[in-house]
Every structure is written in structure tokens, then in C-alpha cells.
Amino acid sequence: MFQFNPPKKFLENRNVLITGASDGIGKTCAQTFASYGANLVLLGRSQEKLESLYDELEQTAPGRVIIQPMDFAVAEADDYKMLAEHMTEQLPALDVLIHNAAILGARSPIEHYPDSDWEALMKVNVNAAFYLTKAVLPLLAAAENARVLFTSSSVGRTGRAYWGAYAVSKFAVEGLMQTLADELATTSNIRVNSINPGGTRTAMRQAAYPAENPDSQPSPETLMPVYLYMLSEEADSIHGQAINVRDFDPMAFNA
């Protein structure tokens, strides 16, 4: 696995927004980034889990965490605009946006895929990423060297039977990433990429593979060196790329 050990205050004074922060990879990102000095804005649908994480981080990162319960399944465009307005009142800029929130939905043939699942999943996995990115782009543009990381999946890069809306939504996320990256390549200092974590020990993985031994998959903590590297100056030249954690080699992008 790729290793990266930045200085302890590596993310000091950098403002980071993480969606899906109350569990899994998002929660681990929050804990890890806080340990490197970041100021955090954490979004999630579970207020109880967010409050628990807030209490935990207040012990080690007092005054540097803002939580915002938000259910992407019911949120509309105006909700994202309002969130951005509130953030603008509290932050001079946004340095990092981590799109991590997603739902799995049904796993079935397209022929039998539930209409309600399709619509709900697209709203959470695709529309939310669009609305939120659009709303906070001015804050990202105000940062000296901003980063946007979309969480992808192997089934969003090569189609796989029975993954239905989840796979299609991840293809859409890749398209959103590429389109945004191309638009911003020569007009801003915002770097945009996607990250495929690969199989990871999370609740979503367990739901997708209920018969699998969870311990057979790496923990979210093992992903963090790649996430941290992508926020570093060393990754300045990596833009518009589809990153795989499992075989990550920065030289492949910096050559």
C-alpha cells in the first residue's frame, strides 16, 4: 500500500468540507484531517452520529469542527445555496471538498430495478454532488490551492451486471469530475479528481456483500495516505484524473 507521512500540522488553517462524514470513509477522513490541523465542516444525514463525532473531535481539535445534519435524499437546490451562504459567513475560503456521501440502492437487473430506488439514488449520489459543488465553487475559488475529490467506484469505471443505479451514478460522478476539471484547468487553482477506494471495510460494503467476512477488506484508515497525498503540494499537477487507491503511484501522474 502507498505510504505518505506529512508533517503534523500539514492541514493547519485549511478548511475542509466532507459529505457522508458520520460513518465509514467520511468519518475516517474527518478524524485523520483533524489530527493534521484542519478545520472541518461535516455533513451527514444522522444528527446523532455527527454529534458523537463532534464530541470526539472536540477533545483533540477544539473549536475546529462544524457539523451540519443534511439529508441529500430530500435536499433541494436552495438548501445547498443556503449552506454555502452560511459557510461564507464563517469561512474566508474552502480549501477542500470531499464528496463521500452515497447510498447503495437495490442490486438487481435493470429490467426489474425499482423506480423509486433509481430516483432516490440519483438524487443522493449525483444531484447532491452537482448542487453542492456548484454552491461552494466561489468559496473554493477563494482558496489559494483548492481540492475537490469525488468518491468513485470500480463499477463506475467498468459497468458490471446487477449494480444498477449505483454503477450508473458513479459513471455520472466520473463525468461530473472530468467536465469540472476541464472547465477549471486553466481558469483556477482548483484541482479536481476522483478516488476509487476499492473494497473497504464499511457498512455499505457489508450491505453489498453480506456473506463476506468484513475483516477480509482493508479498513478506511489504510486509504488515508492517498487522501492526504492528494491534498498536498506534491499532487498539484494531478488534475482530472481517476485515482485508484489500491495501485496508486504518484509517479504515474507526475511523469
> In the annotation, is 166 catalytic?
yes
Place of cell 470500480: 154
Which of 80, 166, 227, 229 is catalytic? The answer is 166
Kindly list the catalytic residues: 166
